[in-house]
A = this chain, B = another copy of it.
C-alpha cells in the first residue's frame, strides 16, 4: 500500500465539486452539448489540456452507450479560451464491450466565426465489467512521503514557484523535491516530474479526473532547463481501472527531445498501488 497521506478532505464529492461544475455539459440537441470553459483551470494563460479532455470526455460519456473512457486521443488545434463552447459528438461504433465516439470542441469569435479547438477520438467501456486479473510488471514511482514533497503553498513569498496560475488553486499537488530543481533555478536536466495529486476540494478521483491528472504536472521540459510554453499537439490517455479513494501518484517522463518536439509519458497510480492511467503526448518545445 502507498504511504497514507495528508490529502485534502474538504468533503467535495463526485458529482458535487468544482471539477464537476466546471466540466458540466448541457444537452442542446442529440449529440450536441453546450459547456462553459472555466477560467479556473488555466495555466500560463492557457486552458489546461487535461481539463479540456475531461470536458469532452464527459460529453462523450453522455453520448455513448458506455460511460468510462478506455482510450481517448485528442489532437489540439487552437488554444481554447475561457467561456462558452460547443461539443459535437458522433457515435462511430456502438459495440457490446466497447463503443467508439468522436467529438469536436468549438468556440466562436466575436464575429460569430466558428473555431475548432480540439478533435477527439475515444473508445469507451465499462471499467467495472473488467476481470480483476492483474499481471503488471510496472512498479509505482518512487515518491517520498507527502510531507517531504512541496506544493505552491510551500514556496516562500519572495520566491514563488513559477507557473502559478488559476489551476494551482484547484489542484492538490505535492512535487517530489528530486524533480523540483527547475523551481530553484537548478533544473536536473532529466526529463522527469513526479507528484502526489488530488483535487483541492477533496473530490475523489474518477475516470474523468484521471484525464485531468495526466496533464496536470509542470512540464518535464522545465526540469530539462527549457522554459516557456510547451503546447500539446496530441495526447492519448488510457484509463485502466477505476481509482481507489485516496491520493494519486503521477509520474511523467520524457526520453526523446528532438527536432523541436518531445513526448511526455504519464502514469497515474492509485492508493491501492494500481496503475490506473497511462498517457503519452507529443508537444512542441522551443529550443534555445
| Interface residues of A, Cβ cutoff 8 Å to B | 70-71, 73, 75, 77-78, 92-93, 98, 100, 102, 116, 119-123, 127, 130-138, 190-191, 224, 233-234, 236, 238, 240-241, 254-261, 263, 274-275, 278, 280, 282, 287
Contact A121 B121 (CB under 8 A): yes
Closest to A224 in B: B135
Min CB–CB distance A88 → chain B (angstroms): 13
- Whether B136 lies near A256 (C-beta < 8 A) is yes
CA distance A248 to B216 in the complex (A): 35
User: In the bound complex, do residue B133 and residue A258 qualify as a contact, i.e. CB atoms below 8 Å apart?
Assistant: yes
**Which residues on the B side are within 8 Å of A123 (C-beta)?**
75, 233-234, 282
Bound state CA distance, A44 and B194, in angstroms?
41
Identify A260's interface contact among B133, B138, B280, B287, CB under 8 A: B133
Rounded to whole Å, the gap between the CB of A194 and the closest CB of chain B is: 16
**20 examples of A-B residue contacts, CB within 8 angstroms:** A71-B75, A71-B234, A73-B121, A73-B234, A75-B92, A75-B121, A78-B93, A102-B102, A121-B121, A121-B234, A123-B234, A127-B259, A130-B259, A130-B261, A131-B287, A134-B257, A134-B259, A137-B256, A138-B255, A238-B282
